[in-house]
Amino acid sequence: MKLPLPKFLVINPPSHARNFELREDQTTLSYRCESWPSLCAWTHTQRVAKQKRESMDDSTSAVLDAYHERMQLERAQPRTSRQGGKSTDHLMLAVGPDTGRVLNIIAGSLDKPNILELGTSFGYSTLWLADGARRGGGKVTTIEQLEHKSAYAKECIRAAGLEDYVDFMVGDALDTIDALPQKFDLVLVDLWKDLYVPCLDRFYPKLNAGAIIVADNIVRPGGDNARLYQEAVRQKPGMQSILLPVGTGIEVSRFEC
């Protein structure tokens, strides 16, 4: 039986959603559902995104809301103009609210964690990590190759009142990881996918016992590089790993020792 296609009003559409109409107030999108599973996934995301942020300062929450507005407009663009061989240097390409909250929970659960983020972009995931680091008394070191993205992220983190919890580094992640003296308790891997395995090989010797690694985009866009990363991380000695259906699919791994 063919299901009817309902029409819904949503905000922050999922990246795979289609047929948007941006309303005049620029905050509400009309989105025609293509399947019930995507509707379920989306209503779930909405619920999580709208959760109260009890532990978050008002200034942090305000910057997060601004990021969500920008994300909403970015995701409303047709896919061709986001990916059609053109530069993506202006795009957030952010992990999204579900993965952000997971990162925040993990970071805030660790005691004085040293956190490494590979792929700052405009600082969305950095904000979730930094807020967790604040609660746990830790610090985020975040690496981005593009100066303008890192500068924007730094400004947002300052506006969020989290500047004491983040060190921004501009440069190539592979070279920068090698130069870092500290060991890490949490790593977010979210840069170009062909660098996932080379980066893993570089930061693996710098993991503390019990360290957690979160790698984004394993299911969407997924592909060979994501699969190779999953194989590589699961083969590392002392590593447990599982793919979780959060956001675009995250591989969450724990280094025992």
Ligand X SMILES: C[S@@+](CC[C@H](N)C(=O)[O-])C[C@H]1O[C@@H](n2cnc3c(N)ncnc32)[C@H](O)[C@@H]1O
Q: Which residues bind ligand X (CB under 6 A)?
A: 92-95, 119, 121, 124-125, 143-146, 149, 172-173, 190-192, 195
Least distance from ligand X to the Cβ atom of residue 94, Å: 4
- Would you state the structure tokens that stand for residue 91, as one six-digit string? 């795009």
Closer Cβ to ligand X, 29 or 129, answer by number: 129
Least distance from ligand X to the Cβ atom of residue 182, Å: 18
Closer Cβ to ligand X, 170 or 243, answer by number: 170
Polymer length of the chain: 257
Least distance from ligand X to the Cβ atom of residue 187, Å: 12
Closer Cβ to ligand X, 98 or 144, answer by number: 144
φ, ψ at 21 (rounded to 5°): -135, 120
Torsion sign across C-alpha atoms 160, 168, 222, 105 = negative
The answer to whether the peptide bond before residue 221 is cis (omega within 30 degrees of 0) is: yes
Least distance from ligand X to the Cβ atom of residue 6, Å: 30
Closer Cβ to ligand X, 30 or 170, answer by number: 170
Q: Which of 242, 253, 191 is nearest to 217 (CA)?
A: 191
d(CA 164, CA 70): 25
